[in-house]
Structure 1
Amino acid sequence: MAPTAAYDEIADWYEHEFLGHDPAGDGDAFGLGAVLRDLLGEGRGPCLEIGCGTGVHAARVRALGWTPFGADLSAGMLRHARGRLPAVRADAARLPLRDASLPAVIAVMAHTDMPAYPAVAREAARVLRPGGVFVHVGVHPCFCGGFADRTDPDAVVIRPGYRDGHWTKASWTDQGVRARIGAVHRPLPELMHAFLDAGMTLDRFAETGDPTPIVLGVRARKPAA
């Protein structure tokens, strides 16, 4: 049986309050749609979302022609995912899928919730077909974390702590996820090494956020046989 997930405690808040806070008013305050169009692109076939949560990204994946399905550890979050995409409760580091069975895997705004993210990257590589793509979209490790004060929307104050790599609940706001359940920070080189150590090649990158990046996107590819 999968262990209890931290998000079980905040699933209702996440669905009804956190996701409802969208200053842009378009449902995509972080520009995730543009990143997925650029890095995942149009395609056909199944696309697994690791750490799918409530399934809010499924519509963007479906609009690109893919058939989304998800895996998440939190039963509470998956309860809200019903109707958005089919999903299974599973540990992202031990996916119940065959080797080389998928053309595409994505992880969207999830890596800071996964202490074992290098193992998750290895699982993504395992289930991908040769030539398949893994698209990572997450908070930018250089500008988001317990060391970053984003109180001023026109500037980010970076304090010591970026290089440390750690789990923390420290946050510039008490309205976010980190202040409630914490988050894991990995410096940029450590994050990139997770993909390389999994045997994938780095293919393309994207950033969103103004004036300072909030999101970093990476497309990695499993080498063709």
Structure 2
Amino acid sequence: MRAHYDDIADWYEHEFLAAQRDSDPLELTALLVDLLGAGGGPCLEIGCGTGAHADRLRALGWDPFGLDISCGMLRHASAKLPVAQADAECLPIADSSLAAVMTVLTHTDMPGYPAVLREVARVLRPGGVFVHLGVHPCFCGGFADRSAPAAIVIKPGYRDTHWTTASWTAQGLRDKVGATHRPLPQLLHDFLAAGLVLERFGEGGAPTPTVFGVRARKE
């Protein structure tokens, strides 16, 4: 995965993200306001990529810092927030040290996402919050044809946990780097198994949601 994202880092920053820079079609800002909310102090972004969400976090009062496995992506992110290269399944952060952790559109890049959630629970202090904004398991994946946004076609495959490069478009990410699919119940069970308490949910994108958001807390 590191190599795949290294290979596309310049395209991702200068073409893929640039096309969305003046809009927020996935409603990520509204989801962060609702699920993370205003705060202060450090907020870790897991899988920060090129740092596209740093300004959103600062607008909420947080001091973002990011971790990513791809040095190519971090080359762009380093101008936007403090960063370090790290594997999300082994965070270089002390136990019970953070009040807030978040991630945006990354869980499909992480076949070991249950281990990532366990690491999140480890580094959060009691009462700390984790916000997950991920592609919607029910409406996004190799089984979903989104070529006609007003009428998403869901083919067989949703119930299967799998990795695939199948995509309805050659203009996105998944045909380039692949994706791991976890059905919604399995994803939510992974949060519970990590010891995180589910608090709130949200969806973004229209007319059929593209993003599924979760706010969880460490007791």
Place the TM-score, normalised by the shorter chain, in its bin.
over 0.9
TM-superposed deviation, 1:103? 0.1
Query: Is the aligned partner of 1:109 residue 2:105?
Result: yes
Tell whether the 8 Å contact from 1:134 to 1:220 is kept in structure 2 after alignment.
yes
Alignment-derived partner of residue 165 in structure 2: 169
- Please give the residue correspondences for 1:53-68 in structure 2 after superposition, counting only pairs within 5 Å: 53-68=49-64
Provide the rounded CA distance (Å) in 1 between the counterparts of 2:140 and 2:177: 16
Alignment-derived partner of residue 208 in structure 1: 204
TM-superposed deviation, 1:20? 1.7
* Structure 1 gap segments, 5+ residues each: none
TM-superposed deviation, 1:150? 0.4
- Please give the residue correspondences for 1:16-35 in structure 2 after superposition, counting only pairs within 5 Å: 16-22=14-20, 26-35=22-31
**Which of 192, 195, 198 is residue 199 of structure 1 equivalent to?**
195
Identity %, equivalent residues: 68
SS at match of 2:108: helix
Provide the rounded CA distance (Å) in 1 between the counterparts of 2:111 and 2:69: 13
SS at match of 2:13: helix
Provide the rounded CA distance (Å) in 1 between the counterparts of 2:3 and 2:48: 13
Q: Please, what is the CA RMSD of the aligned residues? A: 1.1
Provide the rounded CA distance (Å) in 1 between the counterparts of 2:104 and 2:162: 20
Tell whether the 8 Å contact from 2:198 to 2:217 is kept in structure 1 after alignment.
yes
**Which of 45, 48, 72 is residue 49 of structure 1 equivalent to?**
45
Provide the rounded CA distance (Å) in 2 between the counterparts of 1:78 and 1:95: 16
Deviations 1:105-144 (A, max 9, x none): 0011111111110100110110000000000001100000
Alignment-derived partner of residue 69 in structure 2: 73
TM-score by length of 1: 0.95
TM-superposed deviation, 1:5? 3.6
Q: Which AA in structure 1 matches 2:159? A: R
Q: Which AA in structure 2 matches 1:61? A: L
- Please give the residue correspondences for 1:38-187 in structure 2 after superposition, counting only pairs within 5 Å: 38-187=34-183
Tell whether the 8 Å contact from 1:71 to 1:88 is kept in structure 2 after alignment.
yes
Provide the rounded CA distance (Å) in 2 between the counterparts of 1:79 and 1:10: 12
Tell whether the 8 Å contact from 1:5 to 1:73 is kept in structure 2 after alignment.
no
Provide the rounded CA distance (Å) in 2 between the counterparts of 1:221 and 1:115: 23
Deviations 1:71-105 (A, max 9, x none): 00000000000221101000000000000000000
Provide the rounded CA distance (Å) in 2 between the counterparts of 1:45 and 1:193: 29
TM-score by length of 2: 0.98
TM-superposed deviation, 1:19? 0.6
* Structure 2 gap segments, 5+ residues each: none
SS at match of 1:9: helix
Alignment-derived partner of residue 9 in structure 2: 11
SS at match of 1:10: helix
Greater shift in the superposed pair: 46-55 or 12-21: 12-21
Provide the rounded CA distance (Å) in 2 between the counterparts of 1:107 and 1:20: 20
Tell whether the 8 Å contact from 2:4 to 2:176 is kept in structure 1 after alignment.
no
SS at match of 2:18: coil
